[in-house]
């Protein structure tokens, strides 16, 4: 069931060329410590002695922490990634020590702990870990400008124009009450792109939709750089930070799961 | 129209914990409606703080107080007034779907106004009595319902830290059973959304804007320090009026 969103290859330091030319896909560190293989005569002992835990690691953003200056300061990245994101990972691992959840990828863990709308205690941490990974990769130095190729075509098809999409995205972010996220998603049922807004940790994966871009609207994401001026933060994200390269790769993968109906979409 | 009472002073005084007998005294409470429209719609304006922005240092920085008051609270008031005007128009036209659609904006922005108006009263500079523990009937009630003031503070700090996202943590009086409780509300939901009998005595804003510039992600430190500027006199006043 479901799909595994593998992160694109930015591990060698981001190069401003289409990432699919790299060809590599880095698998996110997930799942648990493998069971120790039982040695002769120790079969029963090892089963009693071993405790298998799920354990997740923190991934680093695909750029140095000052790469997004002056639009998102190094200080913000240091706190947002180094403290908030890391706290979510640490808290999740602490919860998993006492939990029977094991053997899931992060995406599966989110869906399982979402529990169809009655989230288990691990949901908040798991979802926020994934959301933040996705968020770092949704941005790049020298970002913004316009999407290209297939992504632009799909946006124009589903929103009538890029500027319509941009307005919808900005309005949705401004209308968010409290903490949450704004997403460009590919809806798997309707087979079209859409802007959605979620509260707190909720992420469109739980509805089976495919996220393409995310913007963190929790206050910690922008308060140091923009104080209460959310509009400036959102516009700066759209004009200078959003990574259409990442969006392209994600659309490419999404097309393997959603038939967008036209056989020749030139992506990238 | 009966519905206009929603915006009227009486309901607000109840919501702010003054009770029916306090309506007259509450009429001078900052934050109650002052603007009057032709049809009698009451709108709201930003109440003044009873202290300087820097007066709560070092517990809460002057920079935060100024932003919190002049930007965040003002925005809630501006949007609340806008929503009320739109509501009045929709009600006059009988546009039910617009009326219902506006409810979330009213709850959010109106709640933000209510909550912050209480919050400014909850805080007091240390050299004016902020942080001084409660005496009298509220002090006894705390000992009865929580064991000690330390236990209450510990509970509220734990609840405040555990709150996911944005919200408030409250010391509430259940006016029906005359017991104190600790409650949390999400986003800008006022305390009444957790129970019609709940009267807010103290509220602590745990939205990130309330502490981020000074404490960054360390919400527990903010919660530890805010008690040094807590205005227990206000809480006692509200409590005594309710149980009298």
Report pLDDT digits (tens) over A61-71.
999 999 999 99
Query: Which of A220, A239, A192, A203 lies closest to A78, judged by CA?
Result: A220
Query: Residue B197's CB: how many other CB atoms inside 10 A?
Result: 13
Owner of token pair 């930003």:
B46
pLDDT at B33: 64
Report the gap between the CA of A112 and the closest CA in chain B (Å).
Answer: 19
pLDDT at A263: 64
Tokens of A253: 């993968």
Q: In this complex, do A79 and B209 lie within 8 Å of one another by their Cβ atoms?
A: no
Say which residue, B16 or A267, is predicted with more confidence: A267
* CB nearest to B165's CB, from A79, A84, A199: A199
pLDDT at A98: 85
Binned at pLDDT 50, 70 and 90, residue A268 comes out as confident
Residue A144's φ and ψ, nearest 5 degrees, are 80, -140
State the average pLDDT over residues B228-232: 97
pLDDT, chain B, mean: 88
For an interface test with B, give the residue of A179, A181, A218 to mutate (most B CBs within 10 A).
A179
Enumerate residues 6+ apart whose C-beta is below 8 A from A4: A105, A107
Go through chain B and tell me how many residues it has.
Answer: 244
Model's pTM, two decimal places? 0.81
pLDDT at A260: 82
Q: Which residues of B carry a binding-site annotation for Mn(2+)?
A: 68, 116, 205, 209
For an interface test with B, give the residue of A77, A227, A233 to mutate (most B CBs within 10 A).
A227
pLDDT, chain A, mean: 84
State the average pLDDT over residues A139-168: 94
Please work out, in degrees rounded to the nearest 5, the angle formed at the alpha carbon of residue A223 by the alpha carbons of A220 and A224: 105
- Residue range B181-219, pLDDT digits in tens: 999 999 999 999 999 999 999 999 999 999 999 999 999
State the average pLDDT over residues A1-17: 38
pLDDT for residue A51 is more than 70: no
pLDDT above 90: percentage of residues in chain B: 82
Query: Looking at the predicted complex, does its ipTM rise above 0.90?
Result: no
Rounded CA separation A202/A199 (Å): 6
Peptide bond into B108 cis (omega under 30): no
pLDDT at A39: 47
pLDDT at A262: 63
| Residue A108 three-state SS | helix
Q: In this complex, do B208 and A87 lie within 8 Å of one another by their Cβ atoms?
A: no
* CB nearest to B165's CB, from A83, A87, A179: A179
Q: In this complex, do A218 and B164 lie within 8 Å of one another by their Cβ atoms?
A: no
Rounded CA separation A31/A18 (Å): 30
Rounded CA separation B174/A94 (Å): 36
Q: What angle separates helix B103-122 from helix B74-93, to the nearest 10 degrees?
A: 140
- Residue B144, judged by CB atoms within 10 A of its CB (0-12, 13-18, 19+), counts as exposed
Tokens of A118: 């009655």
Enumerate residues 6+ apart whose C-beta is below 8 A from A230: A173, A174, A217, A222
B210-242 in b/e form (b: 16+ CB < 10 A) is: bbbbbbbbebeebbebbbebbbbbbbbbbbeeb
Q: In this complex, do B71 and A87 lie within 8 Å of one another by their Cβ atoms?
A: no
Say which residue, A43 or A109, is predicted with more confidence: A109
Residues of B within 8 A of A227 (CB-CB) are 67, 71, 213
- Residue range A206-254, pLDDT digits in tens: 999 999 999 999 999 999 999 999 999 999 999 999 999 999 999 999 9
Q: In this complex, do A179 and B217 lie within 8 Å of one another by their Cβ atoms?
A: no
């Amino acid at each position: 069931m479901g799909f595994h969103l593998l992160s694109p290859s930015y591990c060698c330091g981001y190069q401003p060329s289409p990432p699919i030319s790299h060809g590599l896909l880095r698998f996110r560190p997930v799942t648990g410590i493998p069971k120790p293989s039982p040695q002769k005569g120790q079969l029963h002992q090892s089963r009693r002695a071993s405790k298998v835990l799920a354990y997740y690691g923190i991934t680093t953003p695909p750029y140095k922490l000052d790469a997004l200056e002056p639009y998102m300061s190094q200080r913000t990245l240091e706190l947002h990634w180094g403290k908030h994101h890391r706290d979510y990972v640490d808290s999740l691992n602490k919860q998993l020590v006492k939990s029977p959840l094991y053997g899931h990828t992060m995406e599966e863990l989110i869906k399982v702990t979402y529990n169809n709308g009655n989230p288990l205690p691990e949901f908040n941490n798991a979802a926020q870990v994934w959301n933040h990974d996705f968020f770092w990769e949704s941005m790049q130095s020298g970002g913004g400008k316009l999407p290209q190729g297939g992504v632009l075509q799909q946006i124009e098809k589903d929103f009538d124009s890029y500027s319509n999409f941009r307005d919808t995205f900005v309005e949705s972010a401004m209308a968010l009450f409290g903490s949450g996220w704004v997403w460009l998603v590919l809806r798997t049922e309707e087979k079209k792109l859409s802007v959605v807004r979620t509260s707190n940790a909720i992420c469109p994966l739980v509805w089976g939709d495919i996220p393409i871009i995310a913007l963190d609207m929790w206050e910690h994401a922008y308060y140091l750089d923009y104080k209460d001026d959310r509009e400036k933060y959102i516009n700066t994200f759209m004009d200078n930070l959003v990574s259409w390269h990442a969006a392209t790769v994600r659309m490419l993968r999404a097309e393997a799961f959603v038939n967008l109906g036209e056989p020749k979409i030139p992506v990238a | 129209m009966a519905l206009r009472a929603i915006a009227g002073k009486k309901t607000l005084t109840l919501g702010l914990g003054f009770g029916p007998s306090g309506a007259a005294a509450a009429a001078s409470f900052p934050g109650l409606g002052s603007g009057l429209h032709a049809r009698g719609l009451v709108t709201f304006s930003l109440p003044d703080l009873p202290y300087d922005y820097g007066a709560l240092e070092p517990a809460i920085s002057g920079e935060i107080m100024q932003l919190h008051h002049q930007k965040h609270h003002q925005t809630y008031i501006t949007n609340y007034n806008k929503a009320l005007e739109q509501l009045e128009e929709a009600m006059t036209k009988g546009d039910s779907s617009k009326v219902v659609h506006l409810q979330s904006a009213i709850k959010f922005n109106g709640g933000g106004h209510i909550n912050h108006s209480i919050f400014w009263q909850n805080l007091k500079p240390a050299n004016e009595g902020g942080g001084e523990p409660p005496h009298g009937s509220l002090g006894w009630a705390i000992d009865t319902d929580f064991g000690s003031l330390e236990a209450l503070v510990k509970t509220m700090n734990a609840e405040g830290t555990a709150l996911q996202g944005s919200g408030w943590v409250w010391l509430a009086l259940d006016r029906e059973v005359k017991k104190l409780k600790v409650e949390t509300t999400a986003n800008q939901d006022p305390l009444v959304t957790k129970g019609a009998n709940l009267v807010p005595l103290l509220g602590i804003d745990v939205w990130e804007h309330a502490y981020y510039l000074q404490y960054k992600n360390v919400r527990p430190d903010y919660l530890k320090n805010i008690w040094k500027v807590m205005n227990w006199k206000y809480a006692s006043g509200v409590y005594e009026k309710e149980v009298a």
